[in-house]
Amino acid sequence: MKEKFNVIGKPVIRQDGKAKVTGQAKFADDYKFPNTLFGVMVRTKSTHAIIKNIDYSEIENDKNIVTIIDASDIKGAKKTGLIRKDQPVFAFDKIVTPGDVVAMLVGVDVDELRILAKKVKIELEELPSLTDPEKSLDPDSPLIHPEFNTNLVVHHPLRKGDIEKGFNESDYIIEQTYTTPHIEHAYIEPECVTAIPLEGDKGIYIIGSIQNPFTVRRIVAEVLNFPLNKVRVEQAELGGSFGGKDDIMCILSARASIAALKTKRPVKIKYTREESILESYKRHPYRMHYKVGYTKEGKIKAMKIDILADAGAYCSMTPYVTWRSVVQATGPYEIENVWTDVRAVYTNNPYTGAMRGFGSPQIVFAQESLMDDIAVSLGLTPDEIRRINGYRYGSITASGQRLENHDVNLMKVLDTACEATNFREKWLENEKHHNRRIPTIEFKDEIINKNLILSDREFVEPEDTWKKGIGLAISFRGSSLGAEGIDAAAAYLSIQSDGSAYLLCGLAENGQGMKTAYSIIVSEILGIPVENIYYLELTTAHIPDSGPTVASRSTVMGGGAVKNASEILRKRFEDFLRSQWQLTEDDLIVFENNKIYVKGKEKFSLSFSEFTALAYKKGICLASIGWYPGPKIHWDEKVGQGKAYFTYVYGAQVAEVRVNIVTGEVYIDKITAVHDPGKVINLLGALGQVYGGVTQGAGYAIFEELSKQNGFPQELNFDQYLIPTSKDVGEIVPIFIEGKDEFGPWGAKSLGEPTLELTSAAINNAIRNAVGERYFNLPVNLEEVILKRKLRPGDIQRGSL
């Protein structure tokens, strides 16, 4: 394996950066087409109802209406979905969640259309709503989609060993229940798409804030009843996604396309923030019950896990999200006897789907909180309990997979994180201060007047209200899709006769820096500068379908395809030069610094552009298509056993916090994030992934929650849905351990998601270390710390106690 690199692993300035810092980069709403019409949605105020009639009579003759689109305009599939076809483009039989759209008004003046949207008369027969997932499987609960005869979306069982025997062999048993809330992706760019009818029966062209152009193409083709090649989807610069601009963009693209074909004009849909939060999907809320048995030495003998996920009104990616949960639910610990059930159910809540982490942040929060409780119960430190049980090379996972053929760096990331933070010493010191409580003054008699005049010594110094804590979390994570889906990617590389190049991969740039990483790979193999590579705009017409850009698979899969395309050309160029220069097989041809030369025979040397001019003249093909199929994996659905992923990454994070024991405020002083992503391709990009992922994880830990009333999201904009600002998270220290792996480009694997999944658990453990109390329900916000419950609008004691 190549050990010395010219470009790989160094900080490289991103290729799309200049356009982004000058305001030239074009996002979906920055595209303007002549004669564009706009679409405005018509919704109901209902959570669950049968649609009896839709009456447009009051508005249909209004001069502002060009046309009205609803389900009756659909020629193909009226319901779609990435896995299960349960989501209507326009609701026609039932309303199943408050985000549902029954019609779209199309016209020029959006403000006028919004007023008219309220005048559509929708006759509904209200149904009892189901918003508590715990009740979804009760026999007397309403069915959200009666055609499936059950509210169960999916059940993933995993059975390993003999769970009863494991508990019998245990000295201690702990049982705990943990919950996590709905989370909004909160990309700063709201959804936007334009559909343009192509003249001459060429179909439809769609450009928008689209995470997965090939997925949008498939769904739109189904809805329009078009062949795939008549739906051309282009991705505009994407203003953040984090898994969130997938299903919703399929639906919006379909609506815009129907209207565009009907009116023969471009139709744009641009969501407000409120519409975006109301209608788009969220991270799954989980309720997780863990029962764990262990010996007095700390060896875990058995783990029984029961998880319930709220899928909301539509299936979306739920079966895959929850599948990752079942594979990773025990955490990175070798346990002989495991019994896991992960179920996801329909409710009338907002639907839930893919979000950065994809079924892991929930289970890591639960299982890593649990590990600390096991340690404390035995008088061990958190790192000790993890060393006793954690994976090593050759360990067997809960799904029966042997970890081999890559560096199993779990212990290495753990040790590195502990050493870098002086973890054990700080943790033990903080444990001594749990008995310090909220300062109070005690009186002999009952207090009637709370406004007592106190003497000087009865006041508290502000700094005395803060306590310090340090917490640890570790994880393993399967790279790419795993047995979840088809896993392969394509790349197109075309060198021009002057030595410049075009590059394109079928995966999508979502801001993560993928284009730059791919250009670095080409640069490393062909020795041409990154700035000579022009990364082409991604449209579905120009490159094979490479699956979705999800599961942190762009580096491992797309990078693999780009490497393959580059190597095809490199081999072809070397063969050509060997005959041209009459070299032997032993002569080493070097491609670097925009030059090609033979090592030790410097007279054989050409600049890259001299070479391409020559090769072009000699009729050598200067373009290639690279392909990278994921290695084989298999899965037995009945018992949850098999080789779930072809390789894994490992991470450890340590959080250092201060907790205000009077107000409940948690301030995050420092997060040390140690990750083994395999080979780092672009150091600047990799650092950015850690900072960004950890910050999102910190929001998950202590602020973020989308609350609901009868299924309606209550926080519809950033004044109420709080995401971390520049002031909310202290220092973040990324450390990379580069493990070797046979897969991916030079062993480069995944980083984007592992950075997020650990943070909430590390922070929760740090809070416990500070105050001596365990919290089971995210977010651990002010009221959770002080009251151990969430306050809601309408609670009698919201505000000062």
Q: Looking at beta carbons only, is 196 or 716 nearer to another protein?
A: 716
Listed residue (738, 751, 752) closest to 1, CA to CA:
738
Within residues 364-403, the interface with another protein by CB under 8 A covers none
Is residue 188 a contact point for another protein (CB under 8 A)?
yes
Q: Does residue 13 bind another protein (CB under 8 A)?
A: yes
Q: Is 667 in the site for another protein (CB under 8 A)?
A: no
Q: How far is the CB of 511 from another protein (least distance, A)?
A: 3
Q: Which stretch binds another protein (CB under 8 A): 7-15, 395-403, 518-526, 578-586?
A: 7-15
Nearer CB in complex with another protein: 27/148 = 27
- Establish if 129 lies at the interface with another protein (CB under 8 A): no
Of residues 35 and 229, the one with the C-beta less far from another protein:
35
Rounded CA separation 449/666 (Å): 31
- Which of 9, 99, 190, 298 forms a contact with another protein (CB under 8 A)? 190
Phi, psi (deg, nearest 5) at residue 564: -60, -45
* Cβ nearer to another protein, comparing 1 with 21: 21
The stretch among 200-208, 317-325, 374-382, 725-733 that binds another protein (CB under 8 A) is 725-733
Task: List strands edge to edge, sheet with 94-95.
Answer: 94-95, 49-55, 121-126
Q: Is 332 in the site for another protein (CB under 8 A)?
A: no
In whole angstroms, what is the distance from residue 260 CA to residue 265 CA? 5
Comparing CB distances to another protein, the nearer of 83 and 684 is 684
| Complex with another protein: residue 272 or 465, whichever CB lies closer | 272
Structure tokens at 575: 């063969």
Rule CB under 8 A: say whether 723 interacts with another protein. yes
Verify binding: residue 256, another protein, rule CB under 8 A. no
63 belongs to the binding site for another protein (CB under 8 A):
no
Stretch of 12-20, 425-433, 448-456, 784-792 contacting another protein, by CB under 8 A: 12-20
Closest by Cα among 421, 463, 464, 457 to 441: 457
Q: Which of residues 272-301 bind another protein (CB under 8 A)?
A: 272-273
CB of 69 to another protein, least distance (A): 24
Our finding on whether 696 is near another protein (CB under 8 A) is: yes
Smallest distance, Å, CB 763 to another protein?
A: 14
Q: Which is nearer to another protein, 709 or 725 (CB)?
A: 725
Please name the helix (run of DSSP H) or strand (run of DSSP E) that holds residue 167, with its range, or none: helix 163-168
Q: Name the 3-class secondary structure at 168.
A: helix
Q: Note whether 17 binds another protein by CB under 8 A.
A: yes
d(CA 178, CA 183): 16
Among 694, 771, 778, 780, binds another protein (CB under 8 A): 694
Single out the segment in contact with another protein by CB under 8 A; choices: 422-430, 530-538, 559-567, 692-700.
692-700
Task: Give the separation between CA 99 and CA 122, rounded to whole angstroms.
Answer: 15
Whichever of 158 and 694 has its CB closer to another protein, that residue is: 694
- For residue 239, the minimal CB distance to another protein (Å) is 3
> Should residue 10 be labelled a site residue for another protein when binding is judged by CB under 8 A?
no
Instruction: Please report whether residue 412 would count as binding another protein according to CB under 8 A.
Output: no
Contact 123, 53 (CB under 8 A): yes
CA dihedral 751, 752, 755, 757 (to 10 degrees): -120
**Rg of the chain, C-alpha, whole Å:** 28
Token pair 């992706």: residue: 185
321 binds another protein (CB under 8 A): no
Q: Toward another protein, which CB reaches closer, 140 or 719?
A: 719
- Token pair belonging to 71: 């389900």
Residue 489 neighbours by CB under 8 Å, 6+ apart = 505, 506, 507, 546, 547, 553, 557, 558, 560, 561, 627, 628
Can residue 695 be called a binding residue for another protein (CB under 8 A)?
Answer: yes
Does position 688 interact with another protein (CB under 8 A)? The reply is: yes
- Is the distance from CB of 675 to CB of 413 less than 8 angstroms? yes
**From the centroid of its chain, how far is CA 484?**
15
Burial of 618 (0-12, 13-18, 19+ CB in 10 A): exposed
CA 182 remoteness from chain centre? 14
Pairing of strands 533-535, 101-107: unpaired
691 binds another protein (CB under 8 A): yes
Give the shortest CB-733-to-another protein separation in angstroms. Answer: 10
Comparing C-alpha atoms, which of 691, 676, 672 is closest to residue 763?
Answer: 672
Contact 675, 754 (CB under 8 A): yes
Q: Which of residues 220-249 bind another protein (CB under 8 A)?
A: 237-242
Residue 642 interacts with another protein (CB under 8 A): yes or no: no
CA 772 to chain centre: 32
For residue 319, the minimal CB distance to another protein (Å) is 27
653 part of the interface to another protein, by CB under 8 A = no
Q: Which two tokens mark 610?
A: 């001299």
Asked whether position 22 contacts another protein by CB under 8 A, the answer is yes
Q: Where are the alpha helices (DSSP H) in 244-399?
A: 247-263, 273-279, 318-328, 361-378, 382-389
- Position of tokens 């995966």? 507
Out of 725, 787, 788, 795, the residue judged to bind another protein by CB under 8 A: 725
Shorter beta-carbon distance to another protein: residue 237 or 279: 237
Within 8 A by CB and 6+ apart from 528, the residues are 499, 501, 522, 594, 608
Long-range Cβ contacts of 88-93 (<8 Å, 24+ apart)? 89/223, 89/251, 89/254, 89/255, 89/258, 90/255, 91/51, 92/51, 93/50, 93/51
Q: Candidates 70, 86, 100, 189: give the one binding another protein (CB under 8 A).
A: 189
Instruction: Tell whether residue 732 is a contact of another protein (CB under 8 A).
Output: yes
Residues touching another protein, count (CB under 8 A): 57
At 235, which helix (H) or strand (E)? strand 231-235
Candidate segments 14-22, 130-138, 151-159, 426-434, binder of another protein by CB under 8 A: 14-22
Q: Does 24 engage in binding with another protein (CB under 8 A)? A: yes
Tokens, residue 559: 């990078």
57 binds another protein (CB under 8 A): no
Q: Determine if 513 is a binding residue for another protein (CB under 8 A).
A: yes
18 binds another protein (CB under 8 A): yes
Q: Determine contact, residues 697/471, Cβ cutoff 8 Å.
A: no
Interface with another protein, residue 719, by CB under 8 A? yes
Length of the chain: 801
Q: How far apart are the first and last CA of the chain?
A: 64
Distance from C-alpha of 263 to C-alpha of 766, rounded to nearest angstrom:
58
DSSP H or E stretch at residue 192: strand 192-198
| Distance in angstroms (rounded) separating the CA atoms of residues 620 and 637 | 49
Residue 596 one-letter amino acid: I
- Residue 29 in contact with another protein, rule: CB under 8 A: yes
Task: Name the segment binding another protein (CB under 8 A); options: 418-426, 442-450, 510-518, 540-548.
Answer: 510-518
Regarding 26 and contact with another protein (CB under 8 A), the answer is: yes
Pairing of strands 37-43, 87-88: unpaired
Cβ proximity to another protein, 252 vs 374, nearer residue: 252
**Residue 41 near another protein by CB under 8 A:** no
Tell me whether strands 300-312 and 337-346 are parallel, antiparallel or unpaired.
parallel
Using the minimum distance from each CB to another protein, give the nearer residue, 62 or 431: 62
Q: Measured from the CB of residue 25, what is the shortest distance to another protein in angstroms?
A: 6
626 binds another protein (CB under 8 A): no
Chain residues in the site for another protein (CB under 8 A): 11, 13-14, 16-27, 29-30, 32, 185-190, 237-242, 272-273, 510-513, 684-685, 687-688, 690-696, 717-719, 723-727, 729, 732
